[in-house]
């Protein structure tokens, strides 16, 4: 599953959408957001995505449940402000594309 983050603040993904729902057991995060110091660096630790957002993007608990169990076994589920989140210790920055030229 490829997830595109559109806003990140202090290590937490606040707005995102699913780019590709294949392989939900292996979520990958792409960041297409303005990042200020502390949003996505060594001080903030791994980026966090709420499990509720993940469940919605995966298509519901029937699909997401077993994947969340696997992620929990791998130590990728953490509590942040009393809400379960998936950790993304690695992620990819999406480079902005040149806007199309208008003729």
Whether residue 60 lies inside any domain: the answer is yes
> How far is Cα 71 from Cα 30, in angstroms, rounded to an integer?
18
> How far is Cα 11 from Cα 64, in angstroms, rounded to an integer?
23
Q: What is the pLDDT of residues 23-65, one digit of tens each?
A: 999 999 999 999 999 998 877 889 999 999 999 999 999 999 9
Domain count along the chain: 1
CA count, 13 A, side-chain hemisphere, 9? 3
Whether residue 103 lies inside any domain: the answer is no
Burial 4-32 (b: 16+ CB within 10 A, else e): bbeebeebbbeebebeeeeebeebebbbb
* Structural domain harbouring 6: 2-93
Whether residue 7 lies inside any domain: the answer is yes
Whether residue 102 lies inside any domain: the answer is no
Whether residue 32 lies inside any domain: the answer is yes
Whether residue 100 lies inside any domain: the answer is no
Q: What is the pLDDT of residues 18-29, one digit of tens each?
A: 999 999 999 999
| 6: enclosing H helix or E strand | strand 2-9
pTM: 0.89
């Amino acid at each position: 599953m490829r997830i595109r983050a559109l806003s990140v603040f202090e290590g937490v993904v606040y707005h995102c959408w699913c780019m590709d729902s294949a392989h939900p057991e292996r979520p990958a995060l792409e960041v297409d957001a303005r990042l200020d110091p502390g949003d996505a660096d060594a001080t903030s630790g791994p980026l966090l995505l709420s499990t509720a957002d993940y469940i919605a993007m995966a298509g519901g608990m029937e699909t997401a449940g077993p994947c969340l169990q696997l992620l929990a076994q791998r130590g990728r589920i953490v509590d942040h402000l009393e809400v379960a989140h998936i950790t993304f210790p690695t992620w990819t920055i999406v480079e902005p594309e040149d806007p199309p030229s208008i003729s």
